[in-house]
Amino acid sequence: MIQLAKKLKSILEKAGKLKPEDGEAMLAEAQKERRPLSELLVKKGVVTEGEILAHLSRAANLPAIDLGRLKVNKEVLDAVPMDVAKDYKIFPIDRIGTILTIAVANPFDVVKLDDIRIITGCQLRPVISTEEAIEKILGQAYRSDEETVGDILGSFEDADLELKETESEDEGMDLSAISDEASPVVKMVNKIIAEAVASGASDIHIEPFEKRVVVRYRRDGDMVQVMELPKRMQNNVTSRIKIMSKLDIAEKQKPQDGKFQMKLGNKAIDFRVSILPVIWGEKTVFRILDSSNLALDIKGLGFEQRCLDDYLWACERPYGMILVTGPTGSGKSTTLYSAVRHIASPDINLVTVEDPVEYTMEGINQVPVNPKRGLTFAGALRSILRQDPDVVLLGEIRDHETLEIAIKAALTGHLVLSTLHTNDAPSTITRMVDMGVDPFMVSSATILICAQRLARKLCTHCKQPSDLPKKVYIEAGLTEAEVSSPEFQPAKAVGCPRCNQGYKGRFALLETMRMTDPVRRMVVERANVMDIKNQSLKEGMITLRRAGLMNVLRGKTTLEEVVRSTMAD
């Protein structure tokens, strides 16, 4: 699709949507990452998907179509074989006699259109869509022709795989049944994974109970039950996952962690697997690491302008420590990776220490922690400091030893980026002092502390104006002037087939606290957290709740979502 990318770049440049120098850089990045240019442009906020469709439609003199609103005609699918549709990146929409309407991502490739005309024996009526929209609907539409969950479960029963009830380590296991690609177990595991990825889930949970096994996905932060498996299938499914992750299938009494990679469509997706013994068996959790969904551009993360300015300012410092805090799953890694991508250049030695390495980045030295072999965060950091680094990303600070080495590195000419688990930015100071570090060292080494949460984004296709009175928003923290301004356009979640109960996707809320001279003095004097917070607020700090309310004001999310994901100031 290189030709399409170049054509799209040219079209957007002529329309004034893209500067020539930016277009060349983004084209090179898209080719390097093997991603559609349209996807990259939307991710970075250069243009919307609707704008891309409009410009392509105008240039090709063909109508555009929103495939997300399309009702699939299964009879028309027979006109184009699945492998042809996927290879040529097209989707059949309608057929009247010998006239076939198809959605194409590249309407300028006449050779491809001739091939499809010959294969189908139909006259073509092309309409415009994007490559990623076509790939998404292809996976959903043609999957209906594959085996359903019921079919797979039926074949499992027909296979009559024997499941031993004993929990001894020498339990008999039919390994051929859980490694043969045609087996029901393999089909079921593959189906669970494929549907999770297609639905945009971030995690898969396979949970054993007394008489059933529940499969749930985490979508936009919420857990959603998608299916139930028979209890007799439990051990075989778990063993299949262990084989994929190169774990010990005989070990059932200890937690195990592993990973594997699968290619789905044209994307290679990594999965991080955790297996935990529970009362009714072993619970399995997959973390889906799809690098194509990772927005590594700082300006594309959706931070408030003040927070973005603070973060960029800190990234440009030659030395010091930047901390991003928050609970597990709050997007801290994405924020740190964005800083690494922003800082990285050929004249800088940048090294990361991670447990595990979630996303690989070209040109960055990434060190995976391996405690079993004696490679801990502290040990790896000591070794890295002998490698003459300029910038060090430390996946997590877990103990006094690691914190102490990180602070010394920040004080000796290195820029250190890391994470901690705290509720907000000011309380991070107390946390570091409680871990045994002198307040003077904390104030001297730290340059910026960020607290982060993820909030669900309203679906743009179905959201409606909020009917809550303005008084409710004022009580939540917005001012009279803000609720009376033209920008005040609060919305509510409704729900449609394209979203999850009115929400689609998540965005980051960031709270940034600069270590200014007054704040440093307060830290050295062991001032309490509230005093430090009040001083930072005087200096213009935007809290997590305030960042959320500013997005409520613009209609990006709801007041209920902000109250759910942030603490009151």
Per-residue model confidence as pLDDT tens digits over 245-279: 999 998 999 999 888 888 776 677 889 999 999 99
Specify whether the CB–CB gap between 544 and 324 falls below 8 A.
Answer: no
Instruction: Name the residue type at position 85.
Output: A
Q: With 80 as the cut, is the pLDDT of residue 400 above it?
A: yes
How confident is the model at residue 112, as a pLDDT? 85
Q: Does the predicted TM-score (pTM) go above 0.85?
A: no
CA atoms within 13 A on the CB side of 342: 23
How confident is the model at residue 173, as a pLDDT? 44
Specify whether the CB–CB gap between 442 and 407 falls below 8 A.
Answer: yes
Specify whether the CB–CB gap between 272 and 333 falls below 8 A.
Answer: no
Specify whether the CB–CB gap between 340 and 332 falls below 8 A.
Answer: no
How confident is the model at residue 295, as a pLDDT? 52
In the chain, what percentage of residues exceed pLDDT 90? 39
Q: With 50 as the cut, is the pLDDT of residue 159 above it?
A: no
The single-letter DSSP state of residue 233 is G
404 or 5, greater pLDDT = 404
- How sure is the predictor about 176, in pLDDT bands with cuts at 50, 70 and 90? very low
Mean pLDDT across 494-505: 82
CA atoms within 13 A on the CB side of 400: 6
How confident is the model at residue 308, as a pLDDT? 93
pLDDT tens digits along 223-249? 899 999 989 889 999 999 999 999 999
How confident is the model at residue 153, as a pLDDT? 60
How confident is the model at residue 411, as a pLDDT? 93
How confident is the model at residue 158, as a pLDDT? 44
Instruction: Name the residue type at position 251.
Output: E
How confident is the model at residue 164, as a pLDDT? 37
Mean pLDDT across 424-437: 93
Question: 3-state DSSP call for residue 473?
Answer: helix
Please name which of 294, 301, 290 lies closest in space to residue 450, comparing C-alpha atoms: 301
CA atoms within 13 A on the CB side of 557: 27
179 or 473, greater pLDDT = 473
Residue where the block lists tokens 């005040």: 488
Cα angle 549, 554, 560; round to 5: 45
- Dump strand ranges (E) for 28-151: 90-96, 99-104, 123-128
d(CA 199, CA 139): 10
Q: With 70 as the cut, is the pLDDT of residue 170 above it?
A: no
Residues facing 273 on adjacent strands: 258, 286
pLDDT tens digits along 44-67? 778 887 888 888 888 888 898 888
- Dump strand ranges (E) for 59-178: 90-96, 99-104, 123-128
How confident is the model at residue 182, as a pLDDT? 58
Distance of CA 378 to the CA centre of its chain: 28
- Dump strand ranges (E) for 114-175: 123-128
Mean pLDDT across 516-543: 95
How confident is the model at residue 369, as a pLDDT? 84
d(CA 2, CA 20): 17
Centre a 10 Å sphere on the Cβ of residue 567 and count the other Cβ atoms it contains: 12
pLDDT tens digits along 284-339? 999 998 766 555 577 777 889 999 999 999 999 999 999 999 988 888 888 998 89
pLDDT tens digits along 468-486? 999 999 999 999 999 999 9
Mean pLDDT across 437-444: 94
Q: With 60 as the cut, is the pLDDT of residue 165 above it?
A: no
Q: Where are the alpha helices (DSSP H) in 386-469?
A: 400-411, 426-434, 439-445
How confident is the model at residue 515, as a pLDDT? 95
How confident is the model at residue 35, as a pLDDT? 75
How confident is the model at residue 156, as a pLDDT? 55
Using a CB cutoff of 8 Å and minimum separation of 24, what contacts does 56-60 make? 56/8, 56/11, 56/107, 56/128, 57/128, 59/7, 59/11, 60/107, 60/108, 60/128
Q: With 90 as the cut, is the pLDDT of residue 542 above it?
A: yes
Mean pLDDT across 78-102: 85
Least confident of 118-127, 514-523, 528-537: 118-127
pLDDT tens digits along 188-225? 898 899 888 888 888 999 999 998 999 999 988 888 99
| Six token digits for residue 374 | 């004696």
Q: With 70 as the cut, is the pLDDT of residue 353 above it?
A: yes
Could you give the strand order of the β-sheet that contains 203-208, starting from the edge strand earlier in sequence?
222-230, 212-219, 203-208, 281-289, 267-278, 256-264
| Six token digits for residue 532 | 């430090």
Mean pLDDT across 485-506: 86
